Amino acid sequence: MSDDFRVGRQIEVTGSIFAQYVYFDYLVSSVIWHLLNLKKDLGMMITGNLDIQPKIDMAIEIAIYKGELAGIQKKLTTFKNSTVDCESIFSKRNQIVQGLSFDFGDGIERDSNNPPKKSTELSIEYYDKVHDEICDVNNDMVLLMKDCNISVH
């Protein structure tokens, strides 16, 4: 590890990445609850056990069906379409928070079952970049949701 890589900072940013990801999950759930006119407690029963991908799909499909929330539909669709490669926030978050790996473009496939032949060290700058990316997505969602009078808390 490089001298400038501080484990305390790594843990702090990892926790914040996880918290921001959970908040994104909550925002998507809130969109669904709003579209279905559900109170939070009943909404939690309906969406609580769903993974993020099905929640995003559900929010998009209901919004399209109801012809509502075009801006949020577009944001969620863009986000969903960006999650299919190793550069997606999902992949980056999984690698940092869960230790799941992916191909860094160096030809070595990495996964949780097969240790890589060569290790790639993640810099604290990488952690900060991923954190900033998910915060940007959340900020965009919050602005769109507030414009539509959807709870973000």
Among candidate residues 56, 62, 15, 66, the one with its CA nearest the CA of residue 141: 56
Integer Cα distance of 140 and 66 in angstroms: 22
Integer Cα distance of 23 and 8 in angstroms: 23
Model pLDDT, residue 80: 85
Model pLDDT, residue 121: 72
Note the pTM of the prediction, 2 decimals.
0.79
pLDDT along the chain (153 residues), means of 10: 65 92 96 96 94 94 97 92 68 76 46 51 87 94 96 92
Model pLDDT, residue 123: 86
Query: Where on the phi/psi map is residue 149: left (φ > 0), alpha (ψ -120 to 50), or beta?
Result: left
Q: Residue ranges of the domains in the chain?
A: 7-85+125-147
Model pLDDT, residue 2: 52
